[in-house]
Chain A
Amino acid sequence: MAEGLYKLTACKIRDLIEKKEISVDDVVGALTERIQKTDKKLNALISLEKADLKSEVERVKQNKGGALYGVPVAIKDNICVDGRLTTCASNILEGFRPPYNATVIDKLREKGALICGRANMDEFAFGSSCETSCYGPTRNPWDTDMIPGGSSGGSASSVAADEAIAALGSDTGGSIRQPAALCGVVGMKPTYGRVSRYGLIAFASSLDQIGPITKDVSDCALLLNAISGYDPKDSTSVDIAVPDYTKSLKNDIKGMRIAIPKEYFVKGIDKEVKAAVLNGIKTLESLGAKCDEVSLPHTEYAVSTYYIIAPAEASSNLARFDGVQYGLRKKGKSLIDMYKDTRAKGFGSEAKRRVILGTYVLSSGYYDAYYLKALKVRTKLKEDFDKVFKDFACIVTPTSPTPAFKIGERIDDPLSMYLSDIFTIPANLTGIPGISIPCGFTKKNLPIGLQILAKPFNEETLIRTAYTFEENTDFHKRKPDI
């Protein structure tokens, strides 16, 4: 039975352990073997310490059970785990072991999950390709010349390659959904405030949200159940009761009204992506949904608005990395030299670009023209969505305008890199939840993702729609040959 265990979903693994058909050791053993075999090619998991895994197994065995009992989960490297290396894939956090757990870690462990590795990412989650990591790029298991998407590239790649049963990522402008789409797995960004951000090393505090990356929609619901809920340690988490998301795993969208925003199918979008998503919409219609074209008129301003707000907050959040208390310190002749040298050596070029951009837009004399204006556009975008959600249960769009691209292709062209998040950014700016599910493959066998968006705190609609689609298609069953 132990053979091929790594291929299973979280639901399946938990059930088998519950029936005592397999043990936690079986699962971890199978997974460790798998990681050894494939991760040299992928570089999806970093700083995996054997002693850590052993202690995780010991800890889980003391648990009696739980909805995620025995399920190994990969954790993006920007989520704090007590005593474990947590570096945001940045040299500046070299050797940093936080003395506390992120709330999501406590919650996962409460449900019996174990941490099977730290997932690679773009440095501080700045990127859409997982190439800016100080540990080197992660590769796409469907084609190792290709990027896995980002910034949660390690999370998506490891789940797609069966190196982890599930993973946690974080999504600031599409960092869960875009890599999930590019790796052919399921990724959800919950509503802002649904999941505690305590212990998530902040990129842009008003946009960040932790979410699951899984092999199918059922696992997504299972993980979402585990990590959701109000946290008194995070003032931006919202005190709204958490429903049982597995109850939304219903194969039924009859009569559901779905909006198709025309602004998401314009020029620049890859032909194969467009065809696959339109096909997906036909599938939804055939399952009883009513799909209508709508307009989200301020869509074109989303990317530029995002690239003011996100770097502004990032420049502030990253100010604390100064060599004083933890992480890298370069000794300088003076205090200023220490700051300069530490930050010059510690941050990669994309991090520097964003810090400079953010510092600029917050500077006196520029604040009103950039930051304040961006906040106003943010309100406009929200109004666009509110209007559509008056008549529609959800919105369906492509997740990413293109499938995975070649490693190195866009790394020196930040603008084209930034545009890969064009369809995912609006959900972060407006706080609404979104999910990406597999909806097709290109001729070169690269996965394509379909994005579903819903009203705030309406993750149930996302799960029901995604589950119905999944039950009636086979895209999620395909595995990369690695």
Chain B
Amino acid sequence: MTPAGKYETTIGLEVHVQLATQSKIFCGCSTRFGSSPNSQACPVCLGFPGALPVMNKEALGFAIKVGVALGCEIAGRMKFDRKHYYYPDLPKNFQISQYDLPLAAEGSLELFGDGQRRVIRIKRVHLEEDAGKLIHAEKGDASLVDFNRSGMPLLEVVSEPDITSPEEAYEYLTEVKSILRYLDVSDCNMEEGSLRCDANISIRKTGAKSLGVKTELKNMNTFRGVKIALQYEIDRQKAVLEEGGKIIQETRLWNEAKARTFLMRTKEEAFDYRYFPEPDLVPFLIDRETVESIKASLPELPQKRYERFVENYKLQPALASIIVNERDLADFFEESAKGYPRNVQLIANWITGDIQGELNKRKLSMASLGLKPEAFADMLKLIDEGVITGKIAKGLLVDMIETGSMPRELVKSLGLSQITDKGALEAVMEKVIKNNPKPVEDYKNGKTNVITFLVGQVMRETKGKANPKIINEMLRERMGKL
């Protein structure tokens, strides 16, 4: 019997990203999502005989951007190849892709999420066209094909097998997505299929020299799904090895509902794609000047921004990493910091707390939320000035989002100013003492922490407008006299 040993995991990821170009990669059809089936298709993306592909320059520019951002070497000469397999959603029964001369290769990406730097090497980045979508009709035995997606520009980013855990895979995906969003080349919406991921995974005894036999995982639809599927696969492979079995090189499909992987095909059943150079597209020469000018025009990328946030704003690394992850969150942070430089840590807390909460609730991005950083900064000032309480501010933030008004106007129109007048507060305090005999009795018996409860009651009565500090003082004084 083999003693259960320790294993290490090796993961490589292939990410397919739909580029947010105006038109498809080889024709003029629109790339809009959600149009009625087959309304965005032409002879070229339908693969009609005689129709020919023409390269979309915008897609090429986007792809070079990504290659440069990932620190890749950009090919001076690039060509396309045909990858053959039969499937009804693939109108030509071959996909125009790139085989031996990818657009970009040998890059790397740094992960910095938990403050520890790790480098994941990027093997290659290449362009290809997407296939259509097969829909199985609910009635009858027919299948339907929607070719709106056929010919959408895809970028495939392939990592080296440098990822060592499902958590790291999750982090890698988050970082890739973040970079793509910073570059404004894809909306990376997994639900709309604009970002998809396959994984290669193997395990081996810790310290073993050669890699274990890998399996390929497909059909993971969320980043979380990738993480869970990889963990499932590690456990499955371990179990096989522990029972004295062997891992077989195969492709497995993740089934999210059943939370397990299923065999799709073995190595023997793998397709022979019969790649050969696409004769309808002449090889492209990419001159150094173009690459250099794209390089020069790149925005500050998340990693650099993270370093700057930690360095210049002295933000906690964990908060900084969450904020820089989304470009528009980070932009909002910096704009707000200009209006409220006194306490940027507070800004970060608000962004990762209440603001993130509102975004999640509304399923919106920062850019589409409609909250202006000047307004937000002014709201923080109102707290400092003692005009409103922190608690009122939470409600005010929601009002600001919903009305788009400036905070000072809202405070005025809604009467949200803090009550600091002791006379006004005294009546409320007396009412609270009268209505809560039990806590008051407890206080007298030495349970002084019930004061927090009583402060809360006053706040409730004043709809949060009371100044909690003053109430606290007043209550202590009053109770002392009881």
- Using a CB–CB cutoff of 8 Å, the interface residues on chain A facing chain B are 79-80, 86, 88, 93, 96, 98-100, 102, 197-202, 204-206, 232-236, 312-313, 316, 319-322, 324-326, 335, 339, 359, 362-364, 367, 371
Contacts and interface: CB of A to CB of B under 8 A. Distances in A.
Q: Which 3 A-B pairs have the closest CB atoms?
A: A319-B93, A205-B279, A362-B274
Given A319-B86, A367-B276, A98 B43 contact: yes
Contacts of B88: 322, 324, 335
A205 B49 CA distance: 12
Nearest to B274: A362
5 contacts: A99-B43, A235-B281, A320-B47, A325-B48, A325-B91
Given A319-B94, A364-B274, A233 B52 contact: yes
A325 B94 contact: no
B92 interface: yes
Given A99-B43, A200-B50, 20 more contacts: A100-B50, A100-B51, A204-B279, A205-B279, A205-B280, A233-B54, A234-B54, A235-B280, A236-B279, A313-B276, A316-B82, A316-B94, A319-B93, A320-B47, A321-B49, A322-B86, A322-B93, A325-B46, A362-B274, A362-B275
Contacts of A322: 86, 88, 93
Contacts of A313: 276, 279
Given A98-B43, A319-B92, A359-B274, A236 B282 contact: yes
Contacts of A206: 279
B91 A364 contact: no
Nearest to B147: A325
The listed residue with most B CB atoms (<10 A of its CB), out of A99, A235, A371, is A235
Contacts of A339: 86
Interface string B44-83: 0011111111110000000000000000000000000010
Contact of B50 (A201, A324, A335): A201
A75 to B, nearest CB: 13
Given A322-B93, A364-B274, A98 B280 contact: no
A200 B84 CA distance: 21
Contact of A363 (B51, B52, B55, B272): B272
Nearest to B143: A335
A131 to B, nearest CB: 22
Contacts of B48: 98-100, 325-326
A167 to B, nearest CB: 18
A238 to B, nearest CB: 9
Contacts of A324: 88, 91, 145
Contacts of B51: 100, 198-199
A260 to B, nearest CB: 32
A363 B274 contact: yes
Contacts of A204: 279
Contacts of B86: 319, 322, 339
Contacts of B43: 98-100
Interface of B: 43, 46-55, 82, 84, 86, 88, 91-94, 145, 272, 274-276, 279-282
A232 B54 contact: yes
Contacts of B47: 320, 325
Given A99-B43, A319-B94, A80 B272 contact: no
A267 B88 CA distance: 50
A364 B281 CA distance: 23
B282 A235 contact: yes
B276 A312 contact: yes
A320 B276 contact: no
A93 B93 contact: no
Contacts, number: 96
A197 to B, nearest CB: 7
B92 A320 contact: yes
**Interface residues of chain B: helix, strand, loop or mixed (majority):** loop
B2 to A, nearest CB: 36
Contact of A362 (B49, B52, B276, B282): B276
A398 B282 CA distance: 32
A204 B280 CA distance: 10
B90 to A, nearest CB: 9
Contacts of A235: 52-55, 280-282
Contacts of A96: 49
Contacts of B50: 79-80, 86, 98, 100, 102, 198-202
B285 to A, nearest CB: 13
Contact of B276 (A99, A201, A371): A371
Contacts of A93: 49
A234 to B, nearest CB: 5
Contacts of B53: 235
Contacts of A359: 274
Contacts of B281: 235-236
A316 B272 CA distance: 13
A270 B280 CA distance: 38
A198 B51 CA distance: 6
Contact of A319 (B84, B276, B280, B282): B84
Contacts of A88: 49
Contacts of A321: 49
A313 B279 CA distance: 8
Contact of B52 (A79, A98, A197, A367): A197
A326 B52 CA distance: 17
Nearest to A339: B86
A425 B260 CA distance: 56
B101 to A, nearest CB: 14
Task: Identify the interface centre among A324, A362, A364: most chain B CB within 10 Å of its CB.
Answer: A324
B197 to A, nearest CB: 26
A28 B415 CA distance: 90
Contacts of B272: 363-364
B276 A198 contact: no
Contact of A202 (B49, B55, B275): B49
Contacts of B93: 319-320, 322
Contacts of B274: 316, 359, 362-364, 367
B280 A236 contact: yes
Contacts of B52: 197-198, 233-236
A50 B276 CA distance: 43
A369 to B, nearest CB: 14
A197 B51 CA distance: 9
B51 to A, nearest CB: 7
A312 B279 CA distance: 11
A145 to B, nearest CB: 34
Nearest to B273: A364
Nearest to A207: B279
Nearest to A238: B282
A49 B380 CA distance: 80
Nearest to B82: A316
A205 to B, nearest CB: 4
A449 to B, nearest CB: 28
Nearest to A322: B93
Nearest to A93: B49
Nearest to A99: B43
A324 B279 CA distance: 24
Contacts of A199: 50-51
B304 to A, nearest CB: 38
Given A320-B91, A322-B93, A201 B49 contact: yes
Among B49, B84, B91, the most chain A Cβ lie within 10 Å of the Cβ of B49
Contacts of B49: 80, 88, 93, 96, 98, 201-202, 320-321
A215 B52 CA distance: 31
A107 to B, nearest CB: 15
A335 B87 CA distance: 9
A316 B91 contact: no
Contacts of A205: 279-280
A386 to B, nearest CB: 19
A312 B276 CA distance: 9
A319 B86 CA distance: 8
